Amino acid sequence: MLLVSCSAEANPPIQSDTLVTEIPKSKTIITFAAKDDEKSQYQPIISAFNTQFQDVQVHCIAIDPSQDIQQIAYHSDTAVVSAVEASLLEAGYLRNLIPLMDADTAFDLDDFHPETFQTVVKDGSHFLLPATLSVPTISYNKGLFAQTGGDVSTLTWRNLLNTAANVVKQRGASHHLYGFFDDQGGLDSVLGLLHEADFFTQSSESQQLDRPEVVAALKHVAAYVQSGAIYAPQSAPEQPIDQLIRDGQLAAWPTQAVPADTDLGSTEALGTIAMPPFPGGRWMVETGYIMSNGTQHAEEAWRWLSFLSRYPSSTVSPASLAHVPARRSMIKDAAFWEKLPADQQVIAQTLMAQEQPMHASRPDAAMLIGLQEALLAILKDHRSVEQAVRRAQQTLDLQRLATPPPVATAAPFTVATPISIASAPEGSTSITFMANLGPAENQLARIAEAFNQQNVGVFVSMA
């Protein structure tokens, strides 16, 4: 993640030292949930907010790794998350941020690239405030691409796979040469081809696995895998991917599939290009902020999230398309694009100049499982494409019948401020207990609550 400078509208410099004091009774407490290893990144921002706004106190609590979005929404007013399932957007757990955005005259929605909201918007409602974005990229062997005459300036999934097929045609009888490494077993290639066929712009009811677009995409990908144009080993590859790259035997691969510090040989022989779009857009929301629909203090919680969104929440790292600030002003003020490697600068400039693509929803989990099942049946069980999609569609129908569409929560719920961080009752002795134990901290908070209930004259609060 990145540490970049704040825009001119940003608040006073963040102080890293936290002063723990008793919380006055008049303050509104807002809980903010984050992973344990991220809490230290947010604490200076929390301290700055608590100093500037005397009527609100933000308290950071740890997210248990086993908690899902629903559980997080029940136990905290606000939180930082890495993703939100599309099915949860209409389930009633998260608060629509649009009314709060509209009422905040200091908040500029245009400071965010509109495409970043595609996957977190439902019927005009916004359920997540993006913090950082990721631009998926593909690394490639310049020499192998040049031999095919492949054009990397306007890459589509069909062009990428055709170029990979042309690379493979050049191999000799005893020479192993592969095209594009699909680290999802071929599924990403299927999704890319379906996206270009506008399959995911249809209503979810029309997205059937036995449709002609799906049959055609599966046939193409299966043929590419069998020829080596798509390298998609169904088990551990015979040779490590980095070895294939160093030996010049692999034409292209997802950049994130290989750790950044891996020795890939001469970097001058390698290039980076934007991955062709997936359903959901060219930008992937890496992290973002949510507000529980059960918060009792929506305006104060929004004040905190708006403040938080203007500050970087990450540690120092080299500029990369894998960690891009969501706010345009932060990108500009930090000269972020200029700090990227040269090939990534070209990618960024190209993306910013392109028109926003037609909105396409991301496939739900059941659809992904169905596509994966059909692909495996073709590649491993050697079934015909028609047989594979017919069986996968039957499984998908059963799953959808067994899993009714999400509905709004049956009854309103309320996020309760944990007793361990509430204000001490008047006249009691207040003791502040500092802890940084990760998920175990939540257990300690329950112990503090039990103590407070049993001991009227003494109140333990956690920091």
Name 250's bridge partners: 178
Report how far residue 156's alpha carbon sits from residue 255's, in angstroms, rounded to the nearest whole number.
17
The pairing of strands 178-181 and 230-231 is parallel
CA-nearest of 303, 276, 284 to 84 is: 284
The tokens 């500037």 sit on which residue?
A: 52
Sheet with 78-81: strands ordered across:
56-62, 28-34, 78-81, 284-291, 129-134, 324-325
Report how far residue 266's alpha carbon sits from residue 360's, in angstroms, rounded to the nearest whole number.
38
Domain with CATH 3.40.190.10 in the chain: 28-134+282-353, 137-277+363-402
The pairing of strands 78-81 and 28-34 is parallel
Report how far residue 435's alpha carbon sits from residue 444's, in angstroms, rounded to the nearest whole number.
9
The pairing of strands 250-254 and 28-34 is unpaired
Q: Where are the alpha helices (DSSP H) in 36-185?
A: 39-52, 69-75, 98-103, 142-148, 157-168
CATH 3.30.70.990 fits domain 137-277+363-402: no
Name 461's bridge partners: 432
Helix (H, G, I), strand (E, B) or coil at 118: helix
CA-only gyration radius of the chain, Å: 25
Name 57's bridge partners: 29
Helix (H, G, I), strand (E, B) or coil at 94: strand
- Report pLDDT for 213: 94
Identify whether the C-beta of residue 137 lies closer than 8 Å to the C-beta of residue 347: yes
Number of residues that make up the chain: 463
Report how far residue 69's alpha carbon sits from residue 86's, in angstroms, rounded to the nearest whole number.
11
CA-nearest of 278, 345, 276 to 118 is: 278
Identify whether the C-beta of residue 229 lies closer than 8 Å to the C-beta of residue 161: yes
The pairing of strands 429-433 and 129-134 is unpaired
- CATH number for the region 28-134+282-353 comes to 3.40.190.10
Name 180's bridge partners: 230, 252
Q: Where are the alpha helices (DSSP H) in 334-403?
A: 342-353, 365-379, 385-402
Flag residues of the chain having pLDDT under 70. 1-26, 85-90, 118-123, 150-151, 153-154, 172-175, 204, 235-238, 280-281, 313-317, 353-361, 403-411, 418-430, 432-446, 448-450, 452-457, 459-463
Q: Tell whether the torsion through CA atoms of 368, 373, 375 and 376 is positive or negative.
A: positive
Report how far residue 139's alpha carbon sits from residue 162's, in angstroms, rounded to the nearest whole number.
16
CA-nearest of 116, 119, 256 to 184 is: 256
Helix (H, G, I), strand (E, B) or coil at 172: coil
- Report pLDDT for 120: 63
Count other Cβ atoms within 10 Å, centred on residue 38: 18
At 216, list the tokens.
Answer: 């055609």
pTM of the model: 0.72
Report how far residue 189's alpha carbon sits from residue 143's, in angstroms, rounded to the nearest whole number.
23
Scored b (16 or more CB within 10 A) or e, 40-55 reads ebbbbbbbbbbeebee
